[in-house]
A and B are shown apart, each in its own frame.
Chain A
């Protein structure tokens, strides 16, 4: 069952049942997920894709500026027939000689798994012949069709293999787990903001898993006194392991987008560490400052109709942020209703619908909800609701623009939009996009 379209006040019990279970998991490619988690780490980590050129090429197209540390064995048909371990071995030896590389992670692909390439034995045999740390993740799409599984495999393997157990804890410190964005995109500025505010609050950011994570920092992961979960799907394998083995508890905090969510995010940390009202006053100062600045943007954004189309985990927080900017959210489109797998699926699906109901009640929300919609349902809904701006992944930008509708990227954006100043930046981006003279005219033409 695919392509639900309903009014937010028509959520039915059976939706949860129909959209629960493994058939509706966030499908994708585990190798892609693992690659994303690894490619945003520091450059001392080399990623080796053991597969044909095509498996690597997609990343070259998508992330031109972050491919420097991705290598591929570029298996040919002959390698499929006679095995490609020779090529892999040569590549490992070449990377092993590089002084700038500390860790080599091999990702398998459908091709290498289908022919049963025995990489584990190869690595065992190379153990005494190479100096760099090296391990393989069996991430082929055929055996694991869940992208967040790839993120999860990377983070949990890094921690399990290389984090030292006997580290002394740092008081009031956190690991931020499940945030894997290229540092030269938005993540650099988001992480700078996180670090800066945490610093003001007297909390130390011990590590982010995996944005800008270096190999040496992995060893220190057990020094944090709390794990903060950013993405449950990417973090679930790790947080439980760290709780059991390093005695580090975890907190799932809101995604810090918008004033309310950002303040919630930091307030919960202040409460957890018992840092007191004095620190909360810092948050209030930020809120006041941002509120003043926002008034200008709100005049322009007020009552503009928006569509939010991203993963379920992020959507609900983004909706709240847009409502704070006084936009009218008319369409919410989920293309991923589950952010994790296994036993958690039902719970997460139920949670998504619960959150929708909570939003409806809190903000008196009147909008359409699409779940796994096809493109026709999506565009029909946008047109019917006379949407002014779509908040979606960058791949849909051209299609939305061709409808004469303003567009803002929800994921790979260049501008920061997390935390207080990020929220101002988001408001400015939306204002600029909505006021582009060309699209204003084009919209009239399209209609």
Chain B
């Protein structure tokens, strides 16, 4: 049975890097994977395709009116990962949220969700700014959600907001928040901050990714870590994470308990005070 996973987080936090490396790791383990980029920037699958261009669903619809053959918008990437980009409008015009809705509906109509896949990974735009970006959660597509976060205040703030949306759907059991993915920025007390935040919102840290220049090198080479540094510690990190995803069926359904704005400020303040950091207000 196909397992559908959505990855959310603040813009620029590394969702596409995490998604692509997770898809690549699953592919490396011999799993059949499809990754759907749900971001108007349409840069989700570029590492899996080694920089090859892909026409997004919305670009295709705009150009040709309809999609008769799904192969027109799917490209095979590293280890056979099926790569799809939803696409969206130019910045400042139109409605990107509606774009996500149309893309997912189009894929459904074309039968993409009935393919023989083991995993579908949704890489969704930075924040759940409108109903369109909640579609991967609310329409019963993704059952498991991971949130990419760093120790930076705004990153935690954004993830907390996304939890407000997840909570609604987790309450009725349609989705599970599987945990946070800490994509380290090397700020002081980062792990402590994220661990404490995870505890406060009733979740766990499922993966810790260290700050490492190899990510940058792989990015420039347009490859995933799994492809470029196959036997590295970083690759193992993702492969172990992929294995853990595969065994997540029996995990407890933890309903996130997002904090209010004041609580986030207080949390951050107390952590910094504890570590003798001075806050200038």
Instruction: Write the residues of chain A forming the contact surface with B, with a CB cutoff of 8 angstroms.
Output: 77-85, 114-115, 117-118
Known contacts A78-B61, A82-B62, A115 near B94 by CB under 8 Å: yes
Q: A77-B98, A77-B102 are in contact. Are A83 and B58 (CB under 8 A)?
A: no
A81 and B90 contacting across the interface, CB-CB below 8 Å: no
B98 in complex: contacting residue of A81, A84, A117, CB < 8 Å = A81
List 16 A-B pairs, Cβ < 8 Å. Answer: A77-B102, A78-B102, A79-B94, A80-B94, A81-B89, A81-B95, A81-B96, A82-B58, A82-B88, A82-B93, A82-B94, A83-B89, A83-B94, A85-B93, A115-B98, A117-B93
Query: In the complex, A83 Cα to B95 Cα: how many Å?
Result: 7
What DSSP secondary structure best describes chain A's contact surface?
helix
A80 to B61 Cα, complex, angstroms: 13
Per the bound structure, the CA–CA distance linking A84 and B90 in Å amounts to 12
Interface presence of B37 (CB below 8 A)? no
Of all chain A residues, the one with the shortest Cβ separation from B100 is A81
Q: Which residues of B contact A117 (CB under 8 A)?
A: 93
Q: Which residues of the other chain, B, contact A118 by a CB distance below 8 angstroms? A: 92-93
- In the bound assembly, the distance between CA atoms of A82 and B102 in angstroms comes to 12
Chain B interface: which size bin? Answer: 10 to 19
State whether B95 touches A114 (Cβ < 8 A).
Answer: yes
B256: interface (CB < 8 Å) = no
- Cβ of A116 to closest chain B Cβ, rounded Å: 8
Residues of A within 8 A of B95 (CB): 80-81, 114-115
Please, which residue of chain A has its CB at the minimum distance from the CB of B61?
A: A78
- What residues on B are CB-neighbors of A78 within 8 Å? 58, 61-62, 102
Interface positions of B from 52 to 83, Cβ below 8 Å from A: 58, 61-62
Is B179 part of the binding interface, using a Cβ–Cβ cutoff of 8 Å? no
In the assembly, what is the distance between CA of A78 and CA of B92, in Å? Answer: 15
Residues of A contacting B98 with CB < 8 Å?
A: 77, 80-81, 115
Q: Does B9 contact A (CB under 8 A)?
A: no
List the B side residues contacting A85 at CB < 8 Å.
93
Instruction: Using A77-B102, A78-B58, A78-B61 as known contacts, say yes or no to A83 and B90 having CB atoms under 8 A apart.
Output: yes
Give min CB distance, B159 to chain A, whole Å.
27
B254 to chain A, nearest CB (A): 35
> For B96, what are the chain A residues with a Cβ–Cβ distance below 8 Å?
81
A84 to B62, alpha carbons, bound, how many Å? Answer: 12
**Closest Cβ neighbor of B96 among chain A residues:** A81
Looking across the interface, which residue of chain A has its beta carbon closest to that of B97? A81
Determine the residue in chain A with the shortest Cβ distance to B58: A81
Tell me the minimal C-beta distance from B214 to chain A in angstroms: 37
CA distance in complex: A84, B98 (Å):
14
The reply to whether the CB of B258 lies closer than 8 angstroms to some CB of chain A is no
B62 to A, closest residue via Cβ? A78
Is B99 among interface residues, defined by CB-CB distance under 8 A? yes
| Cβ-closest chain B residue relative to A85 | B93
**Which 5 residue pairs spanning A and B have beta carbons closest together?**
A83-B93, A83-B94, A81-B99, A115-B95, A82-B89
